[in-house]
Amino acid sequence: MTIFNFDAFVNYLFNSFLLGGVGVTIGLTVAAVIGGLCLGMIIALMRMSGKPLLAFPARFYIWFFRGTPLLIQLVVIYAGLPLFGVKLSVLQSALLGLILNEASYMAEIVRTGFLAVPKGQTEAGWSLNLSRRTIFWRVTLPQAFRLMVPPLGNSINGLLKATSLASVISVEEIMRRSDLLMQEQFQVLEVYAAATIYYLILTSLWDLVQARLERRFGRSVNATTASTTSLSFLRR
Amino acid sequence: MTNSTVPAVKLAGVMKRFGNFAALSDVNLDIAAGEKVVICGPSGSGKSTLIRCINHIEQHDGGEISVNGIRLDRSAASVAKVRSVTGMVFQNFNLFPHMTVLENCTLAPRSTLKLSRAKAEAQAMELLSKVRIGDQARKYPGQLSGGQQQRAAIARSLCMQPKIMLFDEPTSALDPEMVKEVLETMKALAGEGMTMICVTHEMGFAREVADRVVFMDRGSIMEQGRPDAFFSNPHTDRARQFLSQIIH
C-alpha cells in the first residue's frame, strides 16, 4: 500500500456516487434548517409566552433534546418508533431526528434574539395602535432576526456536519457513501479526504450566504459591525 | 363624542403599583381638549407612569381613566380606541431602527388605518417637512442626529392623526444643542391647538406653552396651577425644594 494515492483521491473527488451524497447532505440540511427554525420559533414563543402551560413543555423539550446525543435520538426514532406502530423510512427518520434536535437549539437562538430587542420598540408599536400581529412581524421579528443570524449561522454550520450521523441509520449522504466506497478498496484516507473537501466546500458556501444575510439585515445599522464568519479573512 | 364638554383626559382615583411600590396613589386629573399640561416632579414621582397609563402602556390597578370620553376598561377594544386618539413621544425616541424614517411614518397608517401607500407617504412627507426633516425621509434613524430622530418620532405619531399628544421626557436624552429644535417643534404643535400632556423638566417650555403645571411627588399630585403662579409662588415645600434644585 502506498502512503497516499493522489490519483485515487482525485477520482473520489469527482466520483458521481459521492457527489450524489452531497445532494443528500444538502437536502437534509436545508430541510432540517427550515423545519427546525419553524418548530424552534413555535417553541421559543411558547417559552416566552409567560403562560406556564405553554412554557413548561417548551422548557422540557429544550432540556430533553439538547441534553441527549443526536446519535441516540436518530437510532431511537429509527428503531424505536416502529414498536409504537410508527414506521418511517430511513430518510424520514433522519429528517425527523434532525428537525427535532435542531429545533431545540433554534428555539434558544430565537428566544435570545427576541429578548435583545428593547421593550421600547413594542411600546412604540402599542402607542401607534399597531396590532399585536403587526408588532411581531414588522417590528420585533426583523430586529430579532438580525441578532439571530450569527448564532443561527453557527448552528447551521454544525448541522451540515451533524447530518453525517444519519449515516448510522444508513442514509446515503456524504459520510455513508464514503464508507461504502472505502469498503471497496480500503483507500481510507483518499476517500475521507475527498469527503473532507466536500464538507469544507459546503460550509464555505454557507459562510458566504451568512455574510450576505448579515449585510442584508444589518443595512440599517452603522457599518461598524464587522462580519463574523470564518471566511471574512479572505476579503481583507 | 367630540364636543368640548368631554374632557380630553379624565383620571379619577387612579392607582398603580409595581410590586409593593405605589407608583400612583389616588391621582385625580381632568384635562380639557386643547389644553397644554406640563407634568413635573422629582425622579420616581410617578410622572412617566401617569402618562403611560393614559394610553395603556401601563395598566392601572385602580380608579378610572377616560380618554376623549372612552373609558379604559381593559378590553382590547377600549385600548385600541384610546390609542387611536393618542400619540406618544418617548425619551429614547423608539424609532424602528430597521426601517427608514419614511417607513417609520407609514407603517401604522398603512397597517392600522389601511391607508394606501401613496396616501400614507404623501401624508408622511408633509409632516416630515413640517418638522423640517423632509430631506431625511429615506435615511435610517441611526443616520440622524438625536434631535432629528425625536422630530421624526413626533412626525410618526402625528401620522396617526391623534387628538392628544403625550410626551414622556422628550428632550431628556438629547445633547443640549438639540433640545431647542425639538422644543420649537412642540411649540409649533401647541400653536395648532393640539391637546398636549408633557412630562418635562424644561421649565422655559412650561412657562411659555403650558396652560397648567402639575407637580407630582411620591405618586401623588402635590399641587397644580398656572405656570407663572407655580414657578413664582409654589405652595408646598416639596415643590419649592424641587424648583430650587432644577432652576440654576
Please write the tens of the pLDDT for every residue from A85-106: 888 999 999 999 999 999 999 9
**pLDDT above 50 for A225:** no
Of B84, B92, B111, the CB nearest to A120: B92
**pLDDT above 60 for A234:** no
Of A121, A127, A142, the CB nearest to B83: A127
The C-alpha of B42 sits at a distance from chain A's nearest C-alpha, in angstroms, of 22
pLDDT, residue B246, reads: 82
Of B57, B107, B111, the CB nearest to A127: B57
Selected residue with higher pLDDT from A20 and A229: A20
**pLDDT above 90 for A56:** yes
Distance CA B119, CA B107 (A): 12
Report the DSSP beta bridge partners of residue B214.
B39, B224
Distance CA B138, CA B136 (A): 6
B160 near A CB under 8 A: yes
Percent of chain A whose predicted confidence (pLDDT) is above 70: 92
- The C-alpha cell at B148 is 432629528
A2 near B CB under 8 A: no
Contacts A222 to B, Cβ<8 Å: 142-143
Q: Do B160 and A128 touch (CB under 8 A)?
A: yes
- The C-alpha cell at B177 is 444643542
> If pLDDT is split at 50, 70 and 90, which confidence band does A231 have?
low
pLDDT, residue A229, reads: 46
> If pLDDT is split at 50, 70 and 90, which confidence band does A218 have?
confident
Q: Do B108 and A126 touch (CB under 8 A)?
A: no
B161 near A CB under 8 A: no
**pLDDT above 50 for A34:** yes
Instruction: Using DSSP, state whether B114 is helix, strand or coil.
Output: coil
Tell me if A91 sits within 8 A of B22, measured CB to CB. Answer: no
DSSP label of B33 = T
Q: Do B108 and A143 touch (CB under 8 A)?
A: no
CA dihedral sign of residues B173, A128, B218, B19: negative
Query: Which of B111, B114, B115, B136 to mutate against chain A (most A CBs within 10 Å)?
Result: B111
Of B86, B111, B143, the CB nearest to A130: B111
In chain A, count H helices and then E strands.
Answer: 10, 0
Q: How much is the pTM? A: 0.83
Q: What mean pLDDT do residues A2-10 have?
A: 85
Segment A142-145 long-range contacts (CB within 8 Å, at least 24 positions apart): A142/A217, A142/B98, A143/A117, A143/B96, A143/B97, A143/B98, A144/A110, A144/A113, A144/A114, A144/A116, A144/A117, A145/A113, A145/A217
Contacts A143 to B, Cβ<8 Å: 96-98
pLDDT, residue A224, reads: 35
- The C-alpha cell at A26 is 444538502
Q: Which of A1-10, A195-204, B223-232 shows the lowest mean pLDDT across its residues?
A: A1-10
Walk along chain B (248 residues) in steps of 10 and give the mean pLDDT of each run: 74 94 95 96 94 96 95 94 97 95 97 97 97 95 95 97 97 93 95 95 93 96 94 92 83
- The C-alpha cell at A206 is 454557507
B157 near A CB under 8 A: yes
**pLDDT above 80 for A219:** no
Chain B segment 83-142 residues within 8 A of A by beta carbon are 83-84, 86-88, 90, 92, 94-99, 107-108, 111-112, 140-142
The C-alpha of A36 sits at a distance from chain B's nearest C-alpha, in angstroms, of 26
Whether ipTM tops 0.90, in short, is: yes
Query: Which of A119, A122, A128 to mutate against chain B (most B CBs within 10 Å)?
Result: A128
Distance CA A172, CA A19 (A): 11
Please write the tens of the pLDDT for every residue from A149-195: 999 999 999 999 999 999 999 889 999 999 999 898 888 899 999 99
User: Residue A10 carries which side chain, given as an amino acid letter?
Assistant: V
Q: What mean pLDDT do residues A58-62 have?
A: 97
> If pLDDT is split at 50, 70 and 90, which confidence band does A2 have?
low
Q: Looking up cell 413640517, which residue turns up?
A: B130
Averaged pLDDT of chain A: 89
- The C-alpha cell at A233 is 479573512
Q: Do B99 and A220 touch (CB under 8 A)?
A: yes
Tell me if B166 sits within 8 A of A128, measured CB to CB. Answer: no
pLDDT, residue A70, reads: 95
pLDDT, residue B181, reads: 94
pLDDT, residue B215, reads: 96
Distance CA B198, CA B11 (A): 16
